Structure 1
Amino acid sequence: MCTIGYGDITPNSVTTKLFSILFVLVGFGFIDILLSGMVSYMLDLQENYLLRTVQHGGQKKDSTRSYIIDVNKGRMRIRMKVELALGVVVLCIGIGVGAMHFVESLGWLDSFYLSVMSVTTVGYGDRVFRTLPGRLFATIWLFVSTLAVARAFLYLAEARVDKRHRKMTKWVLGHDLTISEFLAADIDNNGFVSKLEFVIYKLKEMRKVSKKDIMQICETFDRLDIGNCGKITLADLVESHH
């Protein structure tokens, strides 16, 4: 179910093969959802603790400091996810090495080899769990370790994408408008770029919002602007609810 496949024990009948197909597809997805919930819960606890520490660090809490915390919150969460996932992977490999050395009576090198090949779901089959205590240990250890490795790679990819997005955002916000960009930012073609148009254009450049999103928002605004006066009033909202 952890996608390893050592090859020492395999289904050998039609019934067991069909059962294995269903069991692997459903079971692996269920364990992945379960582990995801556990990881998210641990991250929430760690994040809340760090934020409380920052807020009660003896400094005066003002609007600027609160803004900095909000801006860095997403970045901090990604970094914590990567660190937590990598820490769990290292811990799982270490636990596996110790268990294989003392339970399966393998040498330290073979123990480390089998541990890494197991948590990365390679499973060549030249080294397997042969003792009953070793197999009982593996049934629990492999659930956590293999999915932890998958999560670690996922979080590393997420961190890399976030880094690229931050680099692009810094570049977008760091240069002034050119003539072509001015014409593109002038949404209503009235010869000047308002603050709102400038914000919308920069969001589009940073790929935070697409043209389709803007059109859908405008359609919603037009639907709520019953008086067709370019703004939504309380009377418009009351009339729209009726």
Structure 2
Amino acid sequence: MRIRMKVALAVGVVILCIGAGTLALYHIEHLDWMDSVYLSVMSVTTVGYGDRAFKTLEGRVFASFWLLVSTLAVARAFLYLAEARIDKRHRKIAKWVLQRDLTVEDLFAADINQSGFISKSEFVIYKLKEMGKIGEKDILQICNQFNKLDICNTGKITLQDLWHSSSR
């Protein structure tokens, strides 16, 4: 939902920029409303055919700031639109991975310690890897950190391990 708000806000800012440009062109450059809207849209979207331009000094000063802000607003709107599409694709993949039944191949792939069964933690790690949320490198870094904290080599982090690691 947060991405939708960002897209809506960015599109709103672009519309506001077009509106500000339209008003400025109408009042400063003395264009009619239709030409003001046309030039604003062409300028903000950076299409600009070159058939119209700012002629007054006040209009050019306004345009130098307005075009910078407007171009950045359009770029940000496109960035958020792309982010929304990517987020939607990730959610679709995650939903597919979570709804998919576990196969024999999945069981062998998820069985990290080759015990013939998978624990809840192995299942979670496997599903996170399938969703693309973590990779093998991430898992190795986490395991290395765990091994550093597991001073007694019990495969568990105990209070004693934490005391030993904090006294170093």
TM over 0.5: yes
Letter in 2 for 1:232: I
* Matching of residue 240 in structure 1 with residue 165 in structure 2: yes
| Alpha-carbon distance between aligned partners in 2 of 1:114 and 1:237, rounded to the nearest angstrom | 67
Tell me how far apart the structure 2 counterparts of residues 235 and 130 of structure 1 sit (CA, whole Å): 78
Following TM superposition, by how much is the alpha carbon of 1:100 offset from its aligned partner in structure 2, in angstroms?
Answer: 1.0
**Matches of residues 163-178 of structure 1 in structure 2 within 5 Å?**
163-178=88-103
Matches within 5 A, 1:13-162: 76-162=1-87
Aligned to 1:212: 137
1:189 maps to 114
Percent identity (aligned): 69
Alpha-carbon separation, structure 2, partners of 1:180 and 1:116? 55
Instruction: Provide the C-alpha distance between the structure 2 equivalents of 1:168 and 1:115, rounded to a whole number of angstroms.
Output: 40
Q: How big is the shift at 1:126?
A: 2.9
Q: Say whether 1:198 aligns with 2:155.
A: no
Task: Report the alpha carbon displacement of residue 202 of structure 1 after superposing the two structures with TM.
Answer: 0.5
**1:104 shift after superposition:** 0.9
Partner amino acid, structure 1, of 2:60: R
CA distance in 1, matches of 2:62, 2:8: 25
Task: Give the TM-score normalised by structure 1.
Answer: 0.65
Scaled by the length of structure 2, what TM-score is found? 0.92
Who is 2:104 aligned against?
179
**Counterpart secondary structure, 1:126:** coil
Which whole-Å CA distance do the structure 2 matches of 1:214 and 1:101 have between them? 60
Equivalenced residues, count: 167
Unaligned runs of 5+ in 2: none
CA deviation after TM superposition for structure 1 residue 86, in Å: 0.3
